[in-house]
């Protein structure tokens, strides 16, 4: 059941801080190993194998590394689209990239597509979207960064969604609002979990 009490913002803030600290304190060797396990499992997903487009964020240091996934998708003949944040509306536009040279520093210290050299994505009816999150729970609900960009995007996205997360950052239950949309699958360094929402 969604949690609607007035303390949900404070609870989420405390959880975010805890998971950020846990990720920041993770030794480099451990992170590299866990990233590799997650990437390997992700690439075996039927939804990945048969999709034509991968919609993905470009990872920051504390996130599961998506750069290897982006390169694998190119090698597998897939299109890759990454988001550009529109701060005025808190929405995102996705652009196809064909090289890491198509990226530049954007909002929140995240690499974003260079609009002048990338084609804007307009078809979101198919494809697989990798959704960022500091934590996910057993039902696929996520703890994001609190900006709301992906919440707006996911409310309209019709393809499959997957969360990549370290197993030590998974919670059995996370607080979520009525309109929050869970991901269809979670991939960790230890297992793949289908949430049963589709």
Q: What residue spans define the domains of the chain?
A: 8-194
Model pLDDT for residues 125-177, shown as the tens digit of each residue? 889 999 999 999 999 999 988 778 898 899 889 899 999 999 999 999 998 87
Strands (E), the chain: 53-56, 79-86, 91-97, 103-105, 111-113, 119-120, 128-131, 135-137, 142-143, 160-164, 170-171, 185-187, 192-194
Model pLDDT for residues 14-30, shown as the tens digit of each residue? 888 888 888 989 999 99
Angle between helices 28-42 and 67-75 (to 10 degrees): 30
pLDDT of residue 194: 94
Model pLDDT for residues 87-138, shown as the tens digit of each residue? 788 889 999 999 999 999 987 788 999 999 999 999 988 899 999 999 999 9
Q: Which CATH class is domain 8-194?
A: alpha beta
pLDDT of residue 112: 95
Model pLDDT for residues 26-47, shown as the tens digit of each residue? 999 999 999 999 999 999 999 9
pLDDT of residue 6: 55
Question: Which tokens hold the place of 60?
Answer: 């920051």
Question: Which tokens hold the place of 164?
Answer: 């990549």
pLDDT of residue 196: 65
SS3 of 136, please? Answer: strand
Which pairs from 91-97 meet CB under 8 Å and 24+ separation?
91/149, 91/152, 91/153, 92/149, 92/150, 92/152, 92/153, 93/120, 93/121, 94/55, 94/120, 94/121, 94/124, 95/119, 95/120, 95/121, 96/120, 96/121, 97/70
- The C-alpha atoms of residue 132 and residue 20 are separated, in whole angstroms, by 13
pLDDT of residue 198: 52
């Amino acid at each position: 059941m969604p949690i609607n009490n007035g303390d949900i913002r404070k609870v989420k803030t405390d959880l975010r801080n805890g998971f950020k600290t846990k990720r920041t304190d993770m030794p480099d060797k451990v992170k590299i190993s866990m990233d590799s396990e997650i990437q390997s499992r992700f690439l075996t997903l039927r939804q990945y194998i048969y999709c034509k487009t991968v919609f993905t964020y470009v990872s920051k240091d504390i996130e599961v590394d998506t750069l290897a996934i982006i390169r694998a998708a190119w090698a597998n003949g897939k299109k890759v689209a990454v988001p550009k944040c529109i701060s005025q509306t808190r929405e995102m536009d996705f652009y196809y990239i064909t090289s890491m040279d198509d990226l530049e520093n954007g909002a929140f210290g995240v690499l974003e597509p260079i609009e002048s050299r990338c084609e804007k994505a307009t078809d979101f009816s198919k494809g697989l979207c990798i959704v960022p999150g500091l934590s996910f729970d057993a039902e696929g609900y996520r703890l994001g960064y609190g900006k709301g960009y992906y919440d707006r995007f996911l409310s309209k996205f019709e393809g499959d969604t997957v969360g990549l997360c370290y197993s030590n950052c998974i919670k059995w239950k996370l607080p979520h609002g009525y309109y929050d949309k869970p991901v269809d699958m979670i991939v960790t360094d230890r297992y793949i979990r289908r949430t049963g929402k589709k």
